[in-house]
Amino acid sequence: MKKIVFSDVDGTLLNSEHKLTALNREAIRRLEEQDIPFVIVSARSPSGIYSILKEYDFRCPIVSYSGALIMDTDGKVLYHEGMPVSEAVKIVRYIENSRLPVTWNVFSYDQWITPDRAHQDVVTEEGIVKTQAQEGSIEDIEGDEVHKIFCMCKPGTIWAVEEQLKKIFPQYSIMKSSSTLLEIMKAGVAKSDAVKVLCNLWDVPVENTAAFGDNYNDVEMLEAAGHGFIMANAPEELLKKFPEHARSNDEDGIYHALRELKYI
């Protein structure tokens, strides 16, 4: 029986120290032995995901920018859905002119641009994803579309920033990925795209899929999958929303849930 496993990265696949535990790595190995695709689905850029694959020595299809860019095991683009660069310019200019308490970052394919690489939030993010940003302006985008605008908000401000941006730009998908991180993408882009696109491409019934996530930008993916597991470290609101719970990301949640499903 064909199956697919989809997994978010930060707060889900990786533990609180941004490491892949031995048991979760073992779960991926056992899936590989059974030819069950393990798909990483993340808000990260491709480089931010490939750094994980390189460190832990495995290969798999990846979904970047919460569904805006899907690539196969060999790095071939299977699907992409970004906003025009001209529209991204409008959003960035609004953030700057309104003096929102935000450090903006723009991603196009594997290019990451930010106005200040020395900003502590950017430095911290570079350390987590193990890739480097390019200091510059929105006009430095080389691609023909922008896949994500990433807002690093000052603590305690994200709800107000989200509300304001949604009011001014209702035509875009604006979603929290943590208590300080906000993602802006083309309307309709969601991690659930990965479930739909890859199930259709590989002819796998959606009920034969499992997905793991821990935050608000994982909701649609968990709802789309046959088994949508919310991690124990997720916000209380999401723990109440989903009936299927996995142990926390510090307790090998993916490994134990896949064992219970008899996927491994």
Cα torsion through 6, 9, 10, 12, rounded to 10: 40
Quick: pLDDT tens for 146-182.
Answer: 999 999 999 999 999 999 999 999 999 998 888 899 9
Domains of the chain with CATH codes: 4-80+190-261 (3.40.50.1000), 85-186 (3.30.1240.10)
Q: What is the pTM of this model?
A: 0.85
Q: Are 179 and 158 in contact (CB under 8 A)?
A: yes
Amino acid at 41: V
Taking residues 60-70, what's their average pLDDT? Answer: 94
Q: Are 192 and 224 in contact (CB under 8 A)?
A: yes
pLDDT score, position 1 = 66
pLDDT score, position 193 = 85
Quick: pLDDT tens for 73-97.
Answer: 999 999 998 999 999 999 999 999 9
